[in-house]
Amino acid sequence: MPAPRYRALVDSFAADIRAGRLAAGTRLPTHRQLAASSGIALVTATRVYAALEELGLVSREQGRGTFVRSLPADHGVDMSFAAEDFVDLNFNYPSVPGQTDMLRQSLRELAGSGDLEALLRYQPHAGRRSDRAVIAGYLGAPADDVLIVNGAQHGLAVTLMALLKPGDPVAVDPLTYPGFKVLAEMLHLELVPSGPSTRCRPCTIHSAPSCRRPTGSNLWRRPGGRAR
């Protein structure tokens, strides 16, 4: 069964953007222009641009149009567009409905309030105390126990370097986050697949409590609050 027309258009646009044939900043045809030139319905043209935006290849600016985004030289794994009913468990993406518009609105509010000058200066290594207090309130933890890092990979690296030394064992899920495996190799840690028969000297445990890849599974809690 041939792929839907809009999927072919998405893959074509994506290939041109990734290959540089559509340069960053290029304004794409309007939805109506794309519909007319491609012989598709207006609603289908809208789906094409929505899919490209979801892939991070274009950005939509209200009242101005849709523009090709600037991609880094190495932009990770090459991905083709998947059908709407297809779940790609290789990647863990935020999936809040309308998240792009929510982020855009939040950035507008941030730009119009607060001390932006302070954000342009060097920040404390653990993060600003006011920001840590907000996060601590959400987590229900003391602010002194919260450190702000630049993404999960940075947080994992800092934690492993602070707590472990080369040769230390780490019990991990049989299917383990690839980024953690890279860090373990770099720091010369011993990864031990966890399970009922796991036997090792006192060791650290690394496990993803939610959205485990590639299974998408979550830890569930026993009565009494202990995760199993």
pLDDT tens for each residue of 202-214: 678 888 777 666 6
How do residues 161-174 score in pLDDT, each as one tens digit?
Answer: 999 999 888 888 87
Q: Residue 123 contacts by C-beta under 8 Å, 6 or more apart in sequence? A: none
> CA 180 to CA 171: how far, in whole Å?
12
How do residues 114-135 score in pLDDT, each as one tens digit?
Answer: 777 777 888 888 888 888 999 9
Q: Which of 152, 145, 13 is nearest to 94 (CA)?
A: 152
Residue-range domain boundaries for the chain: 5-86, 98-148, 150-228
Q: Which fold has domain 5-86?
A: Arc Repressor Mutant, subunit A (1.10.10)
